[in-house]
Chains A and B, each alone.
Chain A
C-alpha cells in the first residue's frame, strides 16, 4: 500500500474523470465467440464419429448461449464495471470441456467400462448450476468486503471441508487419493474445490489484519528479514495442515495448492521475500519427508520418473500390493500422437486412458485431437484468466480485495500448473481437475463461484468512485495510483 494516499479528493476526481467504460459490449461480443466456437466443435465431433451433425446441436447451442446470456445480463445489472474477459473465457473453456466430455461419451471402450456413466448431460446440468452459482454470487455479494466479516468462520468451514474426506463412511478412496466424499442423493463431492475459495477468504481477512506485524517486526539476517518466532505461528499451522492433508488424504496436489496459495498471499501482504524462501523450504521438507514413507506418494513419484515401467507393471501385474496405473503413459502417448495439429475432433484414441479420461486427464484429449496448437491455446486462455485476476488485484482499492483476488488467481494458476503438469508428465500426477474443462460438479460450481468473486472485486475496483462521502472511512477511500 505504498502508493496510496489518505487525501482522496485529487485522485478520486481523476478516476471519476476517466469514467472507465463498462466494456459490457466487449464482453457480449466475446461471448458470441465463446458460444459459437464450442458449437462448431460439437458439430465437428458428430461429423467425425457418426458422419452427421449431432441431433442435439441446436439445443446444445441454445443451452450454452442461454446460460452465457443470463450470466451476461446479470453482470450488466449487478456488476456493470466488472472485467469483460473473465466471463467469455470461462464460458469458452466450459463449452469446450462439454464437447470433449460428449466426445468421450461416444467411445465404445469407455461405455464398456464398469461404473461409466454418460457424463455430458450431467456436465450440462453442472454448468447450469455453476452459472447459477455465479449469478447468486453477483446478486447477493454486493460488496466483497462483506466477506471480511466471516474471516474466522471461513477458517472453521475450510478446515471442516478439508477434513471431511477423512470422516469414516463419508470419505471415498479413488485410486489411492482420499479427496472425495459421498453424499447420499448428490453423488461424489470434492470438498477441496470449495475449500480453496473459503480458505482464500480466511487468509485475506487474517493477513489484512496481521500483515503489519508480520512485515515489520523482524530481524535482518544474511540479507533476509527473519520473522519473529511467534509470527511464524500461522505459517506453521497452515504448513502442518497441508502435511496432514498429504499424509491422510495422500494428495500432493491439494496440499501444494493450499500451502502455495498461503505463501503467495503472505508474500503479497508483507512484501517480504523471506516468506517465499521459508515457504519453499517448508514445502520441500514436507513433500520429501512425507514421500519417504507414504507408499501412495512414492508410487506417484515412480510413475512420474518412469511411466513406462509403471505401464508394464499395470499391464503384467505386480505383486507389491500397490495399484499400478497405465494412465500416465497413456496420457503421454495421447499427447505425442496428437503432434502439432492433432488428429481433429473425434479422431483420436484418448479413451485408452480409461479411468478419469474425461476428468483429471481431459487435457490429454485436447492434446491428441487439437494437438500442440490447441493445448497451447487452452493454456493461454488459462493464463489470461489468471492475469485478469491479478490485474483485478492490482486495481482493487482495498487490501482485502487485493489479497482475495491474488489468492484466488494464484490458486487457480497453481491448480492449472499442478494438473496440466501432472498429465503432461512434468510433475507427479495428482488427483485434481482442470478448471472448467474437466467433468465434475464440485469443480464447475466452485470455479464459477471463483469467477463470480473475481468479477465482483473487479467491478468494485473499476467502478467510478462514488461522490465524496460526507464522512469517508480512511480504509474505504484508499485508491491506487494508476
Chain B
C-alpha cells in the first residue's frame, strides 16, 4: 500500500505547488496591474487618503479639504467654487475629476514621482503626507469682474482674458456655472447635485466650460483676422487706404447681395472706417479676394483649427477648407462655418496687442510641494507670429478707432488706450436662436506694451442683429476685466 501512498503524497504536493505558482502569478506578475486598476477602489481610497494640495490664485488657495466619513478620508472644498469652476474643474469621490484637478492629480494627491523625496522626508519626520500645490496664472480681481459681469447680465456667456506679452491666462469665466463643492463627496446629496447638473436634466448645462469648450460663430470680431490677412498678404498696406468695395456688393458666383447692418458708409471705405462701422461688404470682399487658402492660413496662425492645451484642452476653433468665394466671403465676416472659442478670440486680440506675436496661452505657472518648494515652472512660449510688428501696429490703430469713435465706445477707460472690436453673430436655423453678442479688446500701458487682452461672448435674446449689442452687452464686461487687471498692476 505504500507505493500509492507515496504517489498520493506527490499528488498533494503538486496541488500545493499549483497554488504557489498561481499565487506568484497573482501577487508578483499581475500585482501592479491589479493594484493600479482604476476600478480597484483602493486607487480612490489612496487618492483621498491624504489632504489634497491646493490650487492657488495670486498667493491664496481657492481650494481646501475637509474630512469625511467612510473609507475616503478627505474631500475637496472650493472657495467661490462657481466662479473658479472653469479653472479648477472638480474632483469628486464618486465621479472622478476633470480639468486642473485631473491633469495635476498626481501633484495634488501627492502620488507624483516628483514628490517622492518630500514624501519620504515627511515619513521620516513623522508628518502626515500631503499633496503639492498648483499655482495658476489667474488674476483674482479680473476673474471676479468677469464672473460678476456675466452673472449680472444673466444670460449664458463666457469670458477669457490673457496677458498678451506672456500668454498667461488672467480670467476664465463661464456662466451659468456650478459649485464643484456640491459634488465633491460621495453622499446622496452629492448624487442629487450631480444629477441636477447633467445636460439631460439641466438644459443650461452648467458644467460646460464655455470659455474653452464651446465654439461660437465669432461674427464681426473675426474681421480683425480678415484685416490682418489683408495687411499680411499685401492686399492693402495701410489703414487709411481706400478699398475697392462697391455698394451694394454681390458675392462672386451668386446673385446674393451681402448686406451691411444699417446705413453705414461702406462704399470703398478704408479698412479703418470699415472696422469702425463693421462693414460686412468690405471684409467679405477682402476674404473672397484673398481666397480660402490665404484666409485659412492666417486663421491658423492665430490658432484656429487646433486644440490648445492650457493645459486644459480647448475645443478647436473652425475655419473651413474648400469653400467657394461666396462662402469664403461669409466666413471672413465670422459667419458660415466659422466658429471660435472665447479663448481663441482673446488670442486674436492678444496677438495684435503684442505687436503680432502670439504667445501660447497657459494657466499653470508653477507646481510645488506642500511647503512651497518649486517642482516645475512654466516659461512663456511663442506660439506663432500671425502679423509683422508693423502690420500689428496698423491693426492696433484701427481697433483703437473702434473704441474711440466706433461701435466699441462702451469699453473706453479713462487714461488708458483701448483697442477692440464688437460682434454679433446669428445662428440657428433661419437665425431663430438667440444671437451671440461679442466683444474682443486689449488695453495698452504707457510704454506701448499690453497688460491684458480679453474676449467676451454673451448669448442673449436682447441682442438685436447689429453691432450695438456687442458693444452694449459685452463691452462693459470686457472693460471691467481690463480695469481690474490694470488696477491690480498699480
Residues on A facing B (Cβ under 8 Å): 1-3, 108-109, 264, 267-269, 271, 308, 311, 329, 332-333, 335-340, 349, 352, 367, 371-372, 375-376, 379-380, 382-383, 386-387, 390-391, 393-394, 399, 402, 406, 409-410, 413-414, 416-417, 420-421, 424-426, 480
Contacts and interface: CB of A to CB of B under 8 A. Distances in A.
A426 B8 contact: no
Nearest to A424: B22
Interface string B1-36: 111111111011101101110111011101111110
A339 B31 contact: yes
Nearest to B7: A267
A339 B35 contact: yes
A394 B327 CA distance: 95
Contacts of B22: 421, 424-426
7 contacts: A349-B71, A380-B16, A386-B16, A393-B5, A402-B1, A402-B5, A426-B18
B127 interface: no
A382 B16 contact: yes
The 8 residue pairs across chains A and B that have the minimum distance between CB atoms: A336-B34, A372-B27, A413-B12, A383-B16, A390-B9, A417-B15, A333-B40, A339-B31
A414 B40 CA distance: 31
A237 B18 CA distance: 30
B15 A336 contact: no
B427 interface: no
A402 B6 CA distance: 12
B27 A340 contact: yes
Contacts of A387: 9, 12-13
B111 to A, nearest CB: 15
A438 B19 CA distance: 18
A211 to B, nearest CB: 9
A425 B23 CA distance: 10
B41 interface: yes
A338 B39 CA distance: 16
A263 to B, nearest CB: 10
Given A371-B27, A426-B22, A271 B4 contact: yes
Contact of A268 (B1, B30, B37, B71): B1
Contacts of A416: 15-16, 19
B31 A336 contact: yes
B3 to A, nearest CB: 7
A414 B15 CA distance: 8
Contact of A390 (B8, B41, B45): B8
A338 B22 CA distance: 14
B42 interface: yes
A264 B7 CA distance: 10
Contacts of B35: 333, 336-337, 339
A335 B26 contact: yes
B1 A399 contact: yes
A367 B20 CA distance: 12
Contacts of A393: 5
A391 B2 CA distance: 10
A267 B33 contact: no
A421 B22 CA distance: 8
Contacts of A386: 12, 16
Contact of A311 (B15, B20, B39): B39
A239 B299 CA distance: 80
Contacts of A267: 4, 7-8
Given A333-B40, A390-B8, A379 B19 contact: yes
B1 A413 contact: no
A349 B30 CA distance: 18
Interface in B44-78: 45, 70-71
A371 B41 CA distance: 18
Contacts of A390: 5, 8-9, 12
Contacts of B27: 335-336, 338-340, 367, 371-372, 375
B20 A335 contact: no
Given A349-B41, A383-B13, A372 B24 contact: yes
A386 B2 CA distance: 16
B30 A352 contact: no
Given A337-B40, A371-B27, 18 more contacts: A264-B8, A268-B1, A268-B5, A332-B26, A333-B42, A335-B31, A337-B31, A337-B35, A339-B28, A367-B23, A372-B31, A390-B12, A399-B1, A409-B12, A414-B15, A417-B19, A424-B19, A425-B26
Interface string B322-339: 000000000000000000
A311 B37 CA distance: 13
B295 to A, nearest CB: 50
B313 to A, nearest CB: 28
A264 to B, nearest CB: 6
A284 B19 CA distance: 21
Nearest to A315: B39
Given A271-B4, A352-B41, A375 B34 contact: no
Contacts of A367: 23, 26-27
Contacts of A269: 1
A375 B8 CA distance: 23
A415 B350 CA distance: 74
A393 B11 CA distance: 15
A420 B26 CA distance: 12
Contacts of B1: 1-2, 268-269, 271, 399, 402
A425 B18 CA distance: 12
A417 B5 contact: no
Contact of A336 (B8, B26, B70): B26
Contact of B33 (A329, A336, A352): A336
Given A339-B27, A402-B1, A421 B9 contact: no
A371 B4 CA distance: 35
A345 B26 CA distance: 19
B25 to A, nearest CB: 9
Contacts of A406: 5, 8
A480 B2 contact: yes
A269 to B, nearest CB: 7
A421 B19 contact: yes
Contact of A3 (B2, B13, B16, B31): B2
A340 B16 CA distance: 19
Contacts of A332: 26, 34
A375 B9 contact: no
Contacts of B31: 335-340, 372
Residue from the set A335, A339, A380 with the largest chain B CB neighbour count within 10 Å: A335
Contacts of A108: 70-71
B142 to A, nearest CB: 44
B34 A337 contact: yes
A335 B5 CA distance: 34
Interface string B172-213: 000000000000000000000000000000000000000000
Nearest to A268: B4
Contacts of A426: 18-19, 22
A386 B13 CA distance: 8
Contacts of B15: 413-414, 416-417
Contact of B37 (A333, A420, A425): A333
A268 B18 contact: no
A264 B6 CA distance: 12
Nearest to A402: B1
A385 to B, nearest CB: 10
B29 to A, nearest CB: 10
Contacts of A349: 41-42, 45, 71
A267 B1 CA distance: 9
A376 B20 contact: yes
B37 A376 contact: no
